[in-house]
């Protein structure tokens, strides 16, 4: 059987990093890890092709070649996935759809012949048997949560890794916390399921076998959800990289209680983690309590962020405005917090009610839902009735994001981070691609862009005062260019 796996187009968002790609000579930020993993579960006798619409165009010949089209999508990719399904249907090809978009919203896609609800491991055998026999059902949903220690190595041979800025692996699924707005627990549960140390090292070896020597994003929604298991895995990673003498850096997502465990932070640094994304959401205690982000309450959040920076890990963070307890003061509170803490990569979004979340259920009960979420964290559209005047909220949000990424404000915040940051852990080796990135960045940000004077002032200050972290300073300047372009479109 011939299967075409299609990864839909991701729109221009904070997470797409699309405006970074021309500077670094890549086509897309992240590979379609979910589809590569599903591909590994299919029979070895089947003929597979993968098209990532963030890298290449999908042709009618691609679709005609296939017996069935597998598509996996996040909510933000809905416009693209609808187009893919329509094209496949028009050419008479069966569509099998999965991923978070369909797990929480399959009823909105009657045009898809088959939807997989939840994780593939629990249903793949039935799906393969039924597809082969021509008796495909419209829905497949596993009972319970699958054992991730049975998950196979992704099929890296289906992509060209050089198209991507970062490779990805997954070590665990699920998060022990219960934030009202988050759909992670609805999709993956509250009990973290963790792969074995041997399994993760095998996945790292598989990535190395592709020739990859850059950064790796560990896509867990909370890498430290099970802290004991995370420490064991980190010790194995430290031993592995010493044994293999590899030059890799890692990024992941974690919760703020990371700062309560110095041993855990030290292990992350020793293993080569340079960045960690944390959902801070709000500096206002009342808003954190409202959404049950209790792990962030009763602590000095600015001091917590700066402690992680001093340990040698940069905090990238998510922030939200639009909680019921937010007032007009929230925009200035967020701006001041982000600047004072030195959170350079601050992804600020409007609160949105995602399907499957407790927030969605509560607002539906209260009669406040207005429509479906787009999943885009820079979409200034409200999908529920807010307590704060909607015009005040959306206009305040736009002003906040635009101000945060003005060159003078952004570079000042970056220098705040650099003053706290203490580079530690294994160093990555520079290569020719880094030199080309620096040259392209100097041309675009230092010659062609309106903020070129601020750029050169920042580069000089970073070189003079923070030479050990100069590579990080250049990387942050490049990231800032992307965020400015996205903010300008709000």
pLDDT tens-digit map of 239-260: 999 999 988 999 999 999 999 9
The CATH number for 39's domain is 3.40.50.280
In a domain, 462, yes or no: no
> Of 376, 430, 440, 315, whose CA–CA distance to 26 is shortest?
440
Residues 229 and 377 occupy one common structural domain? yes
Last residue of a domain, one of 141, 175, 203: 141
Last residue of a domain, one of 401, 420, 439: 420
Residues 86 and 180 occupy one common structural domain? no
Task: Report residue 186's pLDDT band, with 50, 70 and 90 as the boundaries.
Answer: confident
In a domain, 366, yes or no: yes
Residues 173 and 263 occupy one common structural domain? yes
Residues 40 and 108 occupy one common structural domain? yes
Q: What is the pTM of this model?
A: 0.94
pLDDT at 225 over 90: yes
**CA separation for the pair 275, 215 (Å, rounded):** 10
pLDDT digits (tens, 9 = 90+) for 142-182: 888 999 999 999 999 999 999 999 999 999 999 999 999 99
Residues 35 and 87 occupy one common structural domain? yes
Residues 68 and 199 occupy one common structural domain? no
Residues 377 and 332 occupy one common structural domain? yes
In a domain, 251, yes or no: yes
371 Cβ partners below 8 Å, 6+ apart? 383
Residue 253 sits in which domain range? Answer: 166-420
> How many residues can be counted in the chain?
490
pLDDT at 432 over 80: no
Strand order in the sheet with 314-321: 167-169, 215-218, 249-254, 273-281, 314-321, 346-350
Strand order in the sheet with 114-117: 47-52, 2-7, 68-72, 94-98, 114-117, 139-141
In a domain, 156, yes or no: no
In a domain, 175, yes or no: yes
Residues 14 and 91 occupy one common structural domain? yes
Work out whether the CA dihedral 330, 333, 339, 340 comes out positive or negative.
Answer: negative
List, as own/partner pairs, every contact residues 353-357 make where C-beta atoms lie below 8 angstroms and the sequence separation is at least 24, other chains included. Answer: 353/181, 353/383, 353/384, 354/75, 354/104, 354/181, 354/182, 354/183, 355/104, 355/105, 355/183, 356/103, 356/104, 356/183, 356/186, 356/187, 357/180, 357/181, 357/182, 357/183, 357/186
Last residue of a domain, one of 363, 387, 420: 420
Across residues 376-405, what is the average pLDDT?
92
pLDDT at 429 over 70: no
Q: How many domains does the chain have?
A: 2
Residues 119 and 187 occupy one common structural domain? no
Q: Which of 53-67, 332-346, 370-384, 430-444 has the lowest mean pLDDT?
A: 430-444
In a domain, 245, yes or no: yes
Task: Report residue 426's pLDDT band, with 50, 70 and 90 as the boundaries.
Answer: confident
In this predicted structure, what is the pLDDT of residue 427?
Answer: 78
Residues 279 and 378 occupy one common structural domain? yes
The CATH number for 200's domain is 3.20.20.70
Residues 232 and 93 occupy one common structural domain? no
**CA separation for the pair 201, 242 (Å, rounded):** 13
In this predicted structure, what is the pLDDT of residue 430?
Answer: 62
Residues 12 and 129 occupy one common structural domain? yes
């Amino acid at each position: 059987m011939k299967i075409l796996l299609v990864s839909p187009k991701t729109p221009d968002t904070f997470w797409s990093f699309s405006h970074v790609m021309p500077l670094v000579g890549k086509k897309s930020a992240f590979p379609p890890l979910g589809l590569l993993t599903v591909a590994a579960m299919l029979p070895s006798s089947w003929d597979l092709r993968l098209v990532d619409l963030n890298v290449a165009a999908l042709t009618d010949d691609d679709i005609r070649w296939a017996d069935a089209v597998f598509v996996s999508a996040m909510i933000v990719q809905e416009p693209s996935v609808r187009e893919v399904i329509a094209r496949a249907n028009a050419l008479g090809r069966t569509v099998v759809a999965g991923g978070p978009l369909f797990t929480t919203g399959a009823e909105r896609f009657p045009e898809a012949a088959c939807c997989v609800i939840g994780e593939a491991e629990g249903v793949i055998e039935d799906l393969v048997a039924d597809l082969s026999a021509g008796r495909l059902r419209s829905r497949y949903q596993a009972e319970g949560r699958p054992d991730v220690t049975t998950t196979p190595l992704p099929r890296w041979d289906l992509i060209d890794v050089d198209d991507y800025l970062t490779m990805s692996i997954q070590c665990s699924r699920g998060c022990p916390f219960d934030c009202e707005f988050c759909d992670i627990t609805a999709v993956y549960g509250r009990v973290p399921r963790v792969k074995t140390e041997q399994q993760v090292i095998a996945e790292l070896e598989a990535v190395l076998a592709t020739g990859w020597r850059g950064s790796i994003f560990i896509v867990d929604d909370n890498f430290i959800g099970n802290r004991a298991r995370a420490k064991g895995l980190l010790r194995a990673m430290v031993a592995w990289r010493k044994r293999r003498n590899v030059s890799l850096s890692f990024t992941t997502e974690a919760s703020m209680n990371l700062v309560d465990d110095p041993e855990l932070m030290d292990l992350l640094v020793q293993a080569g983690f340079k960045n960690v994304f944390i959902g801070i959401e709000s500096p206002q205690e009342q808003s954190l309590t409202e959404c049950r982000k209790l792990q962030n309450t009763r602590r000095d959040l600015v001091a917590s962020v700066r402690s992680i920076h001093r340990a040698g890990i940069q905090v990238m963070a998510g922030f939200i405005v639009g909680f019921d307890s937010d007032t007009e003061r929230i925009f200035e509170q967020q701006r001041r917090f982000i600047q004072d803490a030195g959170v350079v990569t601050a992804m600020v979004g409007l609160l949105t009610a995602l399907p499957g979340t407790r927030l969605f259920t509560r607002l539906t009960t209260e009669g406040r839902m207005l429509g479906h979420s787009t999943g885009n964290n820079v979409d200034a559209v409200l999908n529920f009735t807010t307590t704060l005047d909607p015009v005040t909220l959306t206009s305040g949000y736009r002003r906040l994001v635009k101000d945060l990424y003005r060159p003078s404000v952004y570079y000042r915040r970056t220098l705040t981070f650099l003053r706290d940051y203490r580079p530690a852990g294994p160093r990555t080796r520079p290569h020719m691609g880094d030199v080309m990135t620096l040259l392209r960045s100097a041309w675009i940000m230092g010659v062609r862009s309106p903020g070129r004077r601020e750029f050169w002032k920042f580069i000089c200050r970073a070189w003079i005062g923070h030479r050990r972290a100069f590579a990080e300073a250049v990387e942050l300047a490049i990231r800032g260019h992307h965020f400015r372009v996205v903010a300008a479109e709000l």
